[in-house]
Structure 1
Amino acid sequence: MSMPSPTAVPVAAALRLRQQLALAALVLGALAIAFSPIFVRLSEVGPTATGFYRAILAVPPIWLWWRFMPALPRVAVAVGQSRPLPPLALILVPGLLFAGDLFFWHLAIKYTTVANATLLSNFAPVIVTLGAWLVLREKITGAFLVAMLVAICGALMLVGASLELGGTNVFGDMLAFTTAVFYGCYMIAVAKLRGRHGTQDLMLWSSLVTGIALLPMVWVMGEGLLPATLHGWLILFGLAWISQALGQGLIAYALGHLPASFSSLVVLIQPVAAAFFGWLWLGEGLQPLQLGGGAVVLLGILLARRAQLKAG
C-alpha cells in the first residue's frame, strides 16, 4: 500500500481549513444580507431608490478594501504600477445581474404578497445548481438534489401560512421567479469569475455597475431620491455597509472556495434569519409552521453539506 507524500497531508489540511473558513464566511454573509428586508422596510425612499443606495453607498468601503488590502494577484503587477483594467465581463456582468435581481425583487413585492415573493425568489438554488452543472462542471449527486428539495420545502413552510399563489398575483409571482433567475445567474457569474479575480475586484465593480444601472430606474418608477431625515440616511448606510459590502462580499469570497450549488443552499439561511429578525425588531409574529420550516431549511443544508463531503 502506497503512503501519502510528506507534502500531501499539509496541503490537504490547508484545503480543509480554507473550506471551513469559506463556510463560516458564507454563513456570516447570509446572516448579514438577512438584515436587508429590515432596512428596506424602514427606508424613507422607494424600493428602487433603496436598491440604488444599497449598491452605490457600498462602493467607498469596498474601494478602501480594494485599495489597501489587495487580493493575492492573479497577474503580477510591478511595484508602483496601477492594476490593469479588468475584462469587460468582470466590469459589467455581475453588476447588471445583481441590478436585475434588486429591481425585479422590489417590483415583485409591489405586485404580489411578500410571502409569494420570498418563496419564489428563493428558488435561486435550482437555477444555481443547473448552472453549476452546465457552466462550472460541478458534479451534482442524487443526495445533494434530495437535500435541495428538503431545503426548498422548508422555505415553503417558512412562508406557507401567507402564501397566495395564482389569482391576481400571477404577474408579481412571475417577477419574483425572475428575481431568482437573476440572483442565480449572479452567483454563477461570481463563482466563474472568482477563479481568476479577487473578491475585492468583483465587489467593487459589481456594486458600482449595479448602482449606475438602478439610478435611471429610480426615475422610471417615479421615486424620490433623498431621505427626509438623518435616520433615513443611517438606514441606507446600514443596508449598504452590512448587507451589500459585508454580506455579499463574504458570499463572493466563499464562492471562490466552495461549490456554487452548495453555497446557494446555505444562503437559504437568509430567509430563516430574516424571519427571526422581523420577530425581534419589527414585532412580526412567528407561527409554529414557520419555526418548523426554519428547522427543515437547516436540515436540508446539513444534508447538502454531508453530500458535498462524500462527493469530495
Structure 2
Amino acid sequence: MTELALPPGALAARRHPRLGYAMTLAAATLFSVNGAVSKLALNASGIGTPRWTELRSTGAFVGLAVGLAVLAPRRLRIGTRRELMRLAFYGAVGFALVQWLYFVAIDRLPIGIGLLFEFTAPVLIALWARFAWREPVRRRVWPALGLVIGGLALVAQVWHGLTLDGLGVSAGLLAAIALAVYYLMGERLVVRRDPISVVCLGLGFASLLWAFVMPWWSFPLDTLSVEAVLPHGIGAAPVWALAAWTIVLGTIAPFVLSIAALRHLPATTVGIVATFEPVAAAVVAWSWLGEALVAAQIVGGLVVLVGILLAETSR
C-alpha cells in the first residue's frame, strides 16, 4: 500500500529482474520436485488423491494464515459478500480442483506429461480473453493452439491409438481449465487484494470444501506413518515427512516465491519462465522414478512448450 505514495519511477528503481528470474525458477523447481514427492507418498500410502489434496491445501492454508495473522492480520479481512462469494468459488476451482486433478493426472501418467496437459492453460486464457473479454489478442494465438494440439498428439502417440491412461489425460485437460480459471480470476482479485492474502483465503475455502466432502475426523491417520522407499537406495521416509515437505516446500514456498517475483518481473515474463516446471518435472521424474519418455513424446513436449510460449505472449 505504501508503494502508491512513492514518487514516479521509485518502484521501478526497486525492481531487480535477476532476483525475479531466480524466484520464478526456484518456484518452478520446487513445484516440479513436489510432483515426485507426492507420487512417492501416494504410491506408498494408498491414501488417495482427494485426501492428499485435502492435506496439502489445509496445511498450506494454516501456515499462511498463521503468518498473516501475526504479521498483517488486516489482510485476512473480507470486505463484502460479493468478494466472499468470489473467493469461495476461486478456492473451490482454482485451488481444490487444480490440485486434485493435477494429482490424479500424475498418479496415472508420467509426471512431465501430466504437467504438459495442465500447462496448456495459457492457450485457454488467451482464447477466453479474445472471445469473452473482447481483449486484443495477437494472431500468434492460432499457431499456438495448433502447436499445442499437435504436440499433445505426439505426446499421446495417437497413431498407436491412445497410449496414455484416458482418465489421466482427462484429468490433465480438466486441470488446464481449472488452472485457467485460477489465473483469470486471480488476475481480477489481486486488483483489490494483495496476492498473498488471495492465495491464503483461496486455500482456506478449498480446505473448507474438502472438510465438507471428507471430514477430518475420518482422516486415515495410520497412512501417515507408512514408510515410503526413496529412490536410489537413499533409504525410507514416513509419509508424514513427505506431507510436511509438500505443505512447506511444495506449496507455501513456491507460491510465495512466484508471487514475490511479480514485484520484479511482468506477469507475462513470469508465466514464460514458469514453463521450466514441466521440463524440470520430467527430468526429476526420470532421474528419481525412472519415468522415461520415448523420442516422439519428448519432441511433442517441446512443441507444446513452444505453443505455450506463443500463447503467453499473445495477450
TM-score (norm 2): 0.70
Match of 1:275 in 2: 282
Distance 1:52 1:113, change over 3 A: same
1:186 maps to 2:182: yes
Deviation at 1:133, TM superposition (A): 4.2
Aligned twin of 1:51: 53
Instruction: Call closer, same or farther: CA 1:201–1:46 in 2, change over 3 Å.
Output: same
Q: Determine if contact 1:113/1:169 at 8 Å carries over to the other structure.
A: yes
Shift of 1:57: 1.1
Q: Is the 8 A contact 1:30 1:269 kept in 2?
A: yes
Alpha-carbon spacing, 1:37–1:251, altered in 2? closer, same or farther (3 Å)? same
1:103 aligns with 2:100: yes
Name the structure 1 match of 2:138. Answer: 141
* Aligned CA-pair RMSD: 4.2
Amino acid at match of 2:59: L
Distance in structure 1 (CA, Å) of the matches to 2:142 and 2:16: 25
- In the alignment, residue 234 of structure 1 is paired with which amino acid? A
Cα distance between partner residues in 1 of 2:164 and 2:144:
32
Which residue of structure 1 lines up, in the alignment, with residue 13 of structure 2?
14
Instruction: Report the more deviating stretch, 198-207 or 171-180.
Output: 171-180
Cα displacement (A) at 1:199: 2.1
User: Is contact 1:269–1:298 with CA below 8 Å preserved after alignment?
Assistant: no
Query: Any conservation in 2 of the 1:123–1:152 contact (CA below 8 Å)?
Result: no
- Render the CA deviation track for 1:192-217: whole Å, top value 9, x for unaligned: 11112112211211112222222344
Counterpart check, 1:203 vs 2:199: yes
Could you say if the C-alpha distance between residues 297 and 109 of structure 1 is closer, same or farther in structure 2, counting changes exceeding 3 Å? Answer: closer
Secondary structure at the aligned position of 1:227 is classed as helix
Per the alignment, residue 231 of structure 2 pairs with none
Q: Structure 2: how far apart are the matches of 1:253 and 1:94?
A: 20
Aligned partners of 2:91 and 2:205 also within 8 Å: yes
> Deviations along 1:136-184, whole A, 9 cap, x unmatched?
7754323465467657766766x45699765995555434322211111
Q: Which amino acid aligns with 1:25?
A: M
TM-score normalised by length of structure 1 = 0.71
Distance 2:130 2:173 in 1: 20
2:206 aligned partner, one-letter code: T
Alignment of 1:13-92 (within 5 A): 13-14=12-13, 17=15, 21-43=19-41, 44=45, 45-70=47-72, 84-86=77-79, 87-89=83-85, 91-92=87-88
Of residues 267-276 and 85-94 in structure 1, the stretch that sits farther from structure 2 once superposed is: 85-94
Please list every run of 5 or more consecutive structure 2 residues that lacks an aligned counterpart in the other structure: 1-6, 227-236
Alignment CA distance shift 1:57-1:14 (3 Å): same
**Post-superposition shift, 1:233?**
0.5
Deviation at 1:277, TM superposition (A): 0.9
Q: 1:120 aligns with which of 112, 117, 129?
A: 117
Output the CA distance in 2 between the equivalents of 1:255 and 1:25: 9
Which residue number corresponds to residue 258 of structure 1? 266
Q: Which runs of 5+ in 1 are unaligned?
A: 1-6, 72-76
